[in-house]
Structures are given as C-alpha cells and as structure tokens.
C-alpha cells in the first residue's frame, strides 16, 4: 500500500493540449474553420480516454464572425464541447479571440473562473498561463484594436512572472502562452509570431532555473526548439486542413522531476528530449483506439 501511495504522488501530470481551433462558419486558405467543431469534439473524446488531468486551450478558439454576437456564439458553442470533459480546462487567450470581444467577456463566455494570466499547481508541478495580448504600453488588446504582429507581455505581468517563479522554486514549472516566446528569424527579422519582448520573457524564464518547458501556439505549422536549456514546444493548429484526418492535438506529460514529453495525435508530432519530433498518432492505448474509431467515423 505504501508503494502504491508513493507511485500516486509521483505519477506524471498529464495535460491535454489543443491550439488554434479558429471555429467559425468560413473556409479560407488552409483554414477549415467550419470543420473545427467536429475536430474539437473528437479531440475531447480522445483526451478523456487518455485520462488526462486537465485540458489547456492555447488560444485562438474562434475566428472572425460577421458581428460580435456571432463571435460570442462561436465561443459558447466551443465551450459546450469542452464542457464534455469532466475535469478543468484552462483558457489561454489568443489574438483572434479578441477580434470582437474583450478579455473578460471572452473568458466569461468560456465559463472560466481565472483571469488572463495566473498560475496553479498540480501534484508538485507548477503551471503558468501567460497573456501575450497587450500593447507596448501594457494596455490590453480589446475588440480588434491591435495588430497581431505587435503583441507584448506587459511589464507588470513580467514582474509578476518573476515573483511567481521564485515562489515556485524547487518545483518544475510549465509555461503556456499563445504568442511565441522563443527566438527565431523570418526573412532576416524576428518572426512576427514572437511577442515583441520575447527576449525579456526568456530572460525571466532562464533566470528562474525551474522552467521545464514552454508550450505555445499561434505559428500554425508547429515547432520545437531548445533555448537556454528550456524546450519551447509549439503546437500545430487544429484548424489547418479539412476533416478529422487533419486534426491535431496532444498530451504533455510532466513528472515531478521536471522531465517532459509530448505525445501527438493526428498531424501533431511527438516530442521527447532524445528523439525530437515525429508525426504519428500515439499516446495512451485507449486514446489511440478512440482516435482510430474517429477516423473510421469521419
């Protein structure tokens, strides 16, 4: 019995992840927004079968609608699907979520009880939700009053982050943010998917000494890199491509020692420290069976 209790205390925390759902009644480019409701429903079923501890939506739950009322309805529809999961869901804000809505209104429509940025612990692992949807002066993005490629983590939030991670010393921390916080170039300049002050954020993360991983979205192909010894994992967008065969989501496992691994489903790649990324359905056997069944149904 003592051994079983010890195993329970040290069991990895399993987090179901999905990103860039972009639900709306439209299709443009490679974004099949009108297929996203079915994709999200399949995702929630698979993650429930995978016995994850919680869900995290990494932002851009919705896309553009004809008016604010339509976008509010999109949020409510997606929140109803996620409510089929028996555990908690953490909502990370994305830029598209704020095209017609404010932050408080969006979170209220999701049924969230948390603010735009906050932290919490699960079985010895510290989780931090960041909000990269601010102007350079720290004011909030609100109802489309912004440019998607001019996003900042506010100075007050950076101060809070440094203090929060200091208080979590000795526990592995996982950071969630829609906007990207790693460093990479596009056409010789910082990639526009990066928060404009990502370097300042990375300085705080590297200085904390306990950050096990940063999980982000926004850049639809997905990516993975390691900087300052920290893995930066970008999820592939759920909205890309038609039909359930182009679904994408994953399960992040974090153990109390700080080891992390990402099991991908559909078009989402796996990631482990030694093997890097591969694209294949994987993860918990029950979830794989549900995934195969969803493909037959689709």
236-254 as b/e: b if 16+ CB within 10 A: bbbbbbeebebbbbbbbbb
pLDDT at 276 over 70: no
Does residue 6 fall inside a structural domain? no
Q: Collapse the DSSP code of 137 into the 3-class scheme (helix H, G, I; strand E, B; otherwise coil) and give the result.
A: coil
Q: What is the mean pLDDT of the chain?
A: 91
What's the pLDDT tens digit per position in 130-179? 999 999 999 999 999 999 999 999 999 999 999 999 999 999 999 999 99
Q: What is the pTM of this model?
A: 0.91
Residue 154 covered by a domain: yes
Per-residue pLDDT tens digits for 26-74? 999 999 999 999 999 999 999 999 999 999 999 999 999 999 999 999 9
Does residue 297 belong to any structural domain of this protein? no
Look up residue 95 and give its DSSP letter. Answer: G
Pick 291 or 73 by higher pLDDT. 73
Rounded to 10 degrees, what is the CA torsion of 111, 150, 233, 120? -40
CA distances (Å), origin 268, targets 18, 223, 288: 10, 10, 13
Helix axes 68-82, 103-110, angle to 10 degrees: 40
Summarised one tens digit per residue, pLDDT across range 210-249 is 999 999 999 999 999 999 999 999 999 999 999 999 999 9
The domain tally of the chain equals 1
Asked, for residue 2, whether it belongs to a domain, the answer is no
Answer whether residue 298 is part of any domain. Answer: no
Domain assignment present for residue 5? The answer is no
Domain of residue 219, CATH code: 3.60.21.10
User: Cα–Cα distance between 53 and 95 in angstroms, integer?
Assistant: 26
Which pLDDT value is given to residue 230?
97
Within a domain: residue 97?
yes
* pLDDT for the residue numbered 283: 40
Structure tokens belonging to residue 207: 């200085």
Q: Does residue 138 lie in a domain region?
A: yes
State the Cα angle at 184 between 142 and 182, rounded to 5°.
60
- Domain residues for 51? 13-292
Q: Are 95 and 55 in contact (CB under 8 A)?
A: no
Ranges of H-type helices in 33-172:
36-49, 68-82, 103-110, 155-167
Q: Are 285 and 265 in contact (CB under 8 A)?
A: no
């Amino acid at each position: 019995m003592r051994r079983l209790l010890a195993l329970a205390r040290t069991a990895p925390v399993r987090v179901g992840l999905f990103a860039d759902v972009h639900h709306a009644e439209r299709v443009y480019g490679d974004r099949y927004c009108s297929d996203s409701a079915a994709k999200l429903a399949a995702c929630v079923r698979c993650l429930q079968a995978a016995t994850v501890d919680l869900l995290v939506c990494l932002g851009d739950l919705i896309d553009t609608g004809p008016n604010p009322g339509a976008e509010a309805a999109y949020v409510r529809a997606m929140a109803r699907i996620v409510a089929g999961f028996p555990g908690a869901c953490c909502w990370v804000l994305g830029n598209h979520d704020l095209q017609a809505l404010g932050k408080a209104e969006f979170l209220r429509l999701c049924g969230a009880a948390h603010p735009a940025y906050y932290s919490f612990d699960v079985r010895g692992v510290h989780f931090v939700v960041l909000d990269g949807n601010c102007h350079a002066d720290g004011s909030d993005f609100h109802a489309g009053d912004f440019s998607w490629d001019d996003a900042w983590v506010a100075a007050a939030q950076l101060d809070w982050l440094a203090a929060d991670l200091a208080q979590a010393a000795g526990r592995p921390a996982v950071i969630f943010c829609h906007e990207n916080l790693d460093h990479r170039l596009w056409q010789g300049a910082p990639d526009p998917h990066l928060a404009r002050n990502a370097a300042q954020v990375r300085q705080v993360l590297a200085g904390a000494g306990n950050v096990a991983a940063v999980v982000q979205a926004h850049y639809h192909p997905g990516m993975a890199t390691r900087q300052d010894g920290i893995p930066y994992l970008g999820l592939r967008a759920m909205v890309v491509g038609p039909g359930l065969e182009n679904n994408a989501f994953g399960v992040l496992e974090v153990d109390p020692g700080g080891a992390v691994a990402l099991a991908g489903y559909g078009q989402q790649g796996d990631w482990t420290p030694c093997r890097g990324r591969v694209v294949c359905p994987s993860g918990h056997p029950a979830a794989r069976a549900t995934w195969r069944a969803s493909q037959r149904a689709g």
